[in-house]
Structure 1
Amino acid sequence: MLPGVPWLGKRLAFWPTIFAHRVTGFVPKTFRYPFDGEIPPQAEASARVTFFDNAVERALPGIDQLVILGAGFDTRPYRLPRETPVNSFEVDAPKTQAVKREILDKAGIDVHKVAFVPADFEKDDWLAKLVDAGFDLGRPALFLWEGVTMYLDREAIEDTLRKVASCAKGSLLAFDYFTTETLESGTLYWRFGRAAAKAAGQPLKFGVDRTPPARERLSGLLLSSGLALLEQRGLGRETKKKRAWGGFAIAVVE
Structure 2
Amino acid sequence: MTAADFPGIAPRVSRTAFTAAAARAAHLLVDTGPLIFSDTLAAVVLGDHAEELLAYHHLHGAHPVLAGARTQAVCRSRFTEDRLLRVNSGIDQYVILGAGLDSFAYRDTSARFRVFEVDRPATQAAKRELLERAGVAVPPSVTFVPVDFEADPLRERLVQSGLDPFRPVFVSWLGVTMYLTRKAILATLTVLGGLAPGSEIVADHLLPPELRDAAGNGYAEAVAPVAAEQGEPWQTFLSPAAMAGLLREAGFEAVEQAGQRESVDARLWDRTDALRPAALSALTHARIPERPGN
TM-score, length of structure 2 as denominator length: 0.67
The structure 2 residue matched to 1:142, chosen from 167, 170, 179, is 170
Q: Distance in 1 between matches of 2:69 and 2:201?
A: 22
d(CA) in 2 for partners of 1:182, 1:205: 16
One-letter identity of the residue aligned with 2:240: R
Q: 163, 187, 197: which is aligned to 1:169?
A: 197
Contact 1:122-1:153 at 8 Å conserved across structures: no
1:204 equivalent among 199, 214, 234: 234
State, as a whole percentage, how many aligned pairs show the same letter: 34
Alignment of 1:59-74 (within 5 A): 61-74=89-102
- TM (norm. structure 1) is 0.77
Question: Matches of 1:16 and 1:192 in 2, distance apart?
Answer: 15
SS of corresponding position for 2:49: coil
The residue that corresponds to 1:5 in the other structure is 49
Write the mapping of 1:204-223 to structure 2, written as runs, cut at 5 A: 204-208=234-238, 214-223=239-248
Which SS does the other structure have where 1:231 is aligned? strand
Contact kept in structure 2, 1:70 and 1:92, CA below 8 Å = yes
Alignment-derived partner of residue 252 in structure 2: 227
Question: In the alignment, is residue 112 of structure 1 matched against residue 140 of structure 2?
Answer: yes
Q: Distance in 1 between matches of 2:122 and 2:253?
A: 33
2:223 corresponds to? 193
Q: SS at 2:86's partner residue?
A: helix
Take 1:183 and 1:95, find their aligned partners in 2: how far apart are those partners? Answer: 36
Q: Which of 160, 167, 181 matches 1:132?
A: 160
Tell me the equivalent position of 1:37: none
Bigger drift between 174-183 and 217-226 goes to: 174-183
Amino acid at match of 2:116: F
Shift of 1:155: 2.2
Distance 1:110 1:219, change over 3 A: closer
- Choose the corresponding residue for 1:89, options 116, 119, 129: 116
Pair 1:59–1:69, CA change in 2 (3 A): farther
Match 2:281 to one of 246, 250, 254:
246
Please say if residues 236 and 245 of structure 1, whose CA atoms lie closer than 8 Å, have aligned partners that are also in contact.
Answer: no
- For residues 147-188 of structure 1, what are the alpha-carbon distances to aligned partners after superposition, in whole Å with 9 as ceiling and x for unaligned? 111112222211111111100000000111112328999955
Distance 1:182 1:108, change over 3 A: farther
- Extract unaligned runs of 5+ from structure 1: 21-27, 32-39, 209-213, 238-243
1:98-143 per-residue CA deviation (whole Å, 9 max, x = no partner) reads: 0111122231413321110111323321211111001111000100
**Corresponding residue for 1:80?**
108
Residue 85 of structure 1 aligns to a residue whose secondary structure is coil
1:195 partner letter: P
Aligned residues: 225
- Secondary structure of the structure 2 residue equivalent to 1:192: helix
User: How far apart are the structure 2 equivalents of 1:130 and 1:58?
Assistant: 24
Match of 1:100 in 2: 127
1:62 counterpart SS class: coil
Alignment-mate amino acid for residue 250 of structure 1: H
The structure with higher relative contact order (CA 8 Å, sep 6+) is 2
What's the counterpart of residue 58 of structure 1? 86
Distance 1:114 1:184, change over 3 A: same
* 2:12 aligned partner: none
Distance change (3 Å), C-alpha of 1:131 and 1:59? farther
Q: Tell me how far apart the structure 2 counterparts of residues 150 and 112 of structure 1 sit (CA, whole Å).
A: 32
Structure 2 distance, partners of 1:60, 1:181, is: 39
Verify the 8 A CA contact 1:182 1:245 in the aligned structure 2: no
Taking structure 1 as reference, are residues 189 and 105 closer, same or farther at Cα in structure 2, changes over 3 Å only?
A: closer
Distance across 2 between alignment mates of 1:181 and 1:73: 29
Secondary structure at 1:233's aligned position in 2? Answer: strand
